[in-house]
């Protein structure tokens, strides 16, 4: 039995647009609830959320068989954590703060078994191969791994053309918050100058033939990003959905009873 088809990677290769949701609660029950909503993909955030490899694994278990593809953002672009996330069952990895083509090439190698890469061959004891019961996993795994890299600093933006030329990078995600901070607009991602910079980057990524991605819950920015060619777009965050809805209900009824 070969490695399962990565439906997310195939959809991007086919030119489809995929809408997702960021998951920051680090809880399987949240993943389970969101898996039935209809998002094309759900992001398990290991960078800014209280996830460890066990909670990432548990959410991957929860999302198995779901129509929402699991994307795992590792906390840092290090081989050891990428290896653990892949062995836990992730097929699509998002790596933050990628600034050079050399870094991107190292990440490609970390995601692939030798001789193409440096991923440790431990799948016989991993969830990824159904604990050794998927006999043909190793020889077929490389083709089903999807690597997404985040460009979110001035250095990364300056090197975007070189990063886009790296074979094995499937998509480039623009991180609006960190990029804004790096360019001197901390907390001002909606500033006209930042919006122009972000949209120009998305257009460049799209024109390169790689998939462009972004996260924003602003309706206008979502549409502008889609118009600029973004094809994997996170349009909501689980915490934002809960807090904003709760605030709206609370404000409404306090106004009626106050």
Which residue is listed with tokens 């779901």? Answer: 66
Q: How are the residues of the chain apportioned to helix, strand and coil, as percentages rounded to the nearest 5?
A: 45, 15, 35
Give CATH for domain 7-257: 3.20.20.60
So where are the chain's domains?
Answer: 7-257
Q: State pLDDT tens for residues 61-102.
A: 999 999 999 999 999 999 999 999 999 999 999 999 999 999
pLDDT at res. 124: 87
48 is catalytic: yes
Residue 159 near residue 126 (C-beta atoms within 8 A) = no
**Average pLDDT of 18-25?**
98
CA distances from 119 to 49, 56, 114 (A): 25, 19, 7
127-144: burial string, b at 16+ Cβ within 10 Å, e else: ebbeeeebeebbeebbeb
The token pair at 147 is 């690597």
Residue pLDDT, tens place only, 173-209: 999 999 999 999 999 999 999 999 999 999 999 999 9
Q: pLDDT digits over 99-147, tens only?
A: 999 999 999 999 999 999 999 999 888 899 999 898 899 999 999 999 9
pLDDT at 258: 76
pLDDT at 1 over 80: no
**Angle at the Cα of 166 from the Cα atoms of 81 and 189, rounded to 5 degrees:** 75
- Quote the CA–CA distance of 63 and 82 in Å, as a whole number: 19
Note the pTM of the prediction, 2 decimals.
Answer: 0.96
């Amino acid at each position: 039995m070969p490695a399962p088809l990565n439906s997310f990677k195939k959809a991007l290769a086919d030119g489809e647009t995929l809408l997702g949701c960021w998951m920051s609660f680090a809880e399987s029950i949240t993943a389970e609830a969101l898996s039935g909503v209809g998002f094309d993909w759900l992001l398990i955030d290991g960078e800014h959320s209280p996830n460890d490899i066990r909670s990432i694994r548990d959410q991957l278990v929860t999302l198995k068989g779901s129509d929402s593809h699991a994307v795992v953002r590792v906390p840092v672009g290090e081989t050891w954590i990428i290896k653990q996330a892949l062995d836990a069952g992730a097929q699509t990895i998002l790596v933050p703060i990628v600034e050079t083509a050399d870094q991107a090439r190292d990440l490609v190698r970390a995601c692939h078994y030798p001789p193409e890469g440096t991923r440790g061959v431990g799948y016989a004891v991993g969830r990824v191969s159904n604990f050794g019961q998927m006999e043909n996993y190793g020889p077929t795994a490389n083709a089903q791994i999807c690597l997404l890299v985040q460009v979110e600093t001035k250095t990364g933006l300056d090197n975007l053309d070189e990063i886009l030329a790296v074979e094995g990078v499937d998509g480039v995600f623009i991180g609006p918050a960190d990029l804004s901070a790096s360019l001197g607009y901390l907390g001002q991602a909606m500033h006209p100058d930042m919006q122009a910079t972000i949209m120009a980057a998305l257009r460049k990524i799209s024109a390169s033939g790689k998939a462009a991605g972004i996260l924003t819950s602003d309706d206008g920015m979502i549409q502008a990003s889609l118009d600029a060619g973004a094809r994997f777009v996170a349009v909501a965050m689980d915490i934002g959905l809960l807090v904003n809805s709760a605030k709206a209900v609370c404000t409404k009824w306090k106004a009626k009873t106050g």
